[in-house]
Amino acid sequence: MILRNGTIRTLDPSLPTVAALWIAGERIAGGVGVHETSLPSPETVDLGGRCVLPGFTDSHVHFPTWAIAQRDVRLEGAASLAEALDRIRGAERHGTWLRGQGWRDADWPDGRPTRQALDEIEPERPAMLISKDYHGLWLNSVALALAGGDLEVEGGVVVRDEAGEPTGVLYEQAAWQFKNRHAQAADDEYLAAMRDGVKVAAARGVTCVHDKDGWLGAVGLWQQLEGQGGLPLRVWQSAPATFLPQLRELGLRSDAGSSSLVRLGYLKAFMDGTLGSQTAWMADGSGVVITSGEELEEIVRAGAAAGWPVAVHAIGDGANRAALDAFERAADAWQPQRLRPRIEHAQCLDPADLPRFAELGVAASVQFSHAPSDEQLAKRFWADRLDQAYSFRSLADLGALVANGSDAPVEELEPWAGVVAGVLDHWREDERLTLDQALHAVCVAPAWLSHDERIRGTLVPGRLADLVVLDRDPLACEQEELREVQVVATMLGGRWTHNPPPWD
Positions of E strands within 88-152 = 98-103, 127-131, 136-139
pLDDT confidence of residue 36: 44
Q: What does the alpha-carbon distance between residue 52 and residue 283 come to, in Å, rounded to a whole number?
A: 44
Hey, which residues does 3 pair with through a beta bridge?
Answer: 21, 45
| Closest alpha carbon to 403 in 452, 453, 438 | 438
Categorize the per-residue pLDDT at 223 as very low, low, confident or very high, splitting at 50, 70 and 90: very high
pLDDT confidence of residue 149: 93
C-alpha 308: how far from chain center: 19
Categorize the per-residue pLDDT at 212 as very low, low, confident or very high, splitting at 50, 70 and 90: very high
Quick: pLDDT tens for 338-351: 999 999 999 999 99
Quick: pLDDT tens for 409-450: 999 999 999 999 999 999 999 999 999 999 999 999 999 999
Q: What does the alpha-carbon distance between residue 277 and residue 133 come to, in Å, rounded to a whole number?
A: 8
Quick: pLDDT tens for 262-273: 999 999 999 999
C-alpha 384: how far from chain center: 28
Of the given ranges (85-99, 288-302, 429-443), which has the lowest mean pLDDT? 85-99
Q: Are 442 and 420 in contact (CB under 8 A)?
A: no
Q: What does the alpha-carbon distance between residue 30 and residue 23 come to, in Å, rounded to a whole number?
A: 8
Q: How far is CA 389 from CA 7, 347, 355, 407, in A?
A: 36, 6, 15, 17
Q: What is the strand order of the sheet 234-240 is part of?
A: 56-61, 206-211, 234-240, 262-270, 310-314, 342-345, 363-366, 402-404
DSSP-assigned letters across all residues of 373-403: HTHHHHHHHSGGGGGGB--HHHHHHTT--EE
pLDDT confidence of residue 33: 39
What value does the CA radius of gyration of the chain take, rounded to a whole number of Å? Answer: 23
Quick: pLDDT tens for 491-503: 999 999 999 999 9
Quick: pLDDT tens for 4-24: 999 999 999 999 999 999 999
What value does the mean pLDDT of the chain take? Answer: 94
Quick: pLDDT tens for 44-67: 999 999 999 999 999 999 999 999
pLDDT confidence of residue 257: 61
58 SS3 class: strand
Domains of the chain: 2-55+462-498 (2.30.40.10), 68-182 (3.10.310.70)
Q: Are 461 and 14 in contact (CB under 8 A)?
A: no
SS (H, E, C) 202-252: HHCCEEEEEECHHHHCHHHHHHHHHHCCCCCCEEEEEEEHHHHHHHHHHCC
Q: Cβ of 372: how many Cβ atoms within 10 Å? A: 18
Q: What does the alpha-carbon distance between residue 93 and residue 89 come to, in Å, rounded to a whole number?
A: 10
Q: Is the pLDDT of residue 37 over 60?
A: no
Quick: pLDDT tens for 240-286: 999 999 999 988 888 866 578 999 999 999 999 999 889 999 999 99
pLDDT confidence of residue 327: 98
Phi, psi dihedral angles at 110 (to 5 degrees): -120, 20
SS (H, E, C) 278-320: CCCCCCCCCCCCCCCHHHHHHHHHHHHHCCCCEEEEECCHHHH
First to last CA, the chain: 19
Of the given ranges (99-108, 166-175, 334-343, 377-386), which has the lowest mean pLDDT? 99-108
Its sign, for the CA torsion 342, 452, 53, 469, is negative
pLDDT confidence of residue 32: 39
Quick: pLDDT tens for 453-492: 999 999 999 999 999 999 999 999 999 999 999 999 999 9
Q: Are 171 and 273 in contact (CB under 8 A)?
A: yes
Categorize the per-residue pLDDT at 230 as very low, low, confident or very high, splitting at 50, 70 and 90: confident
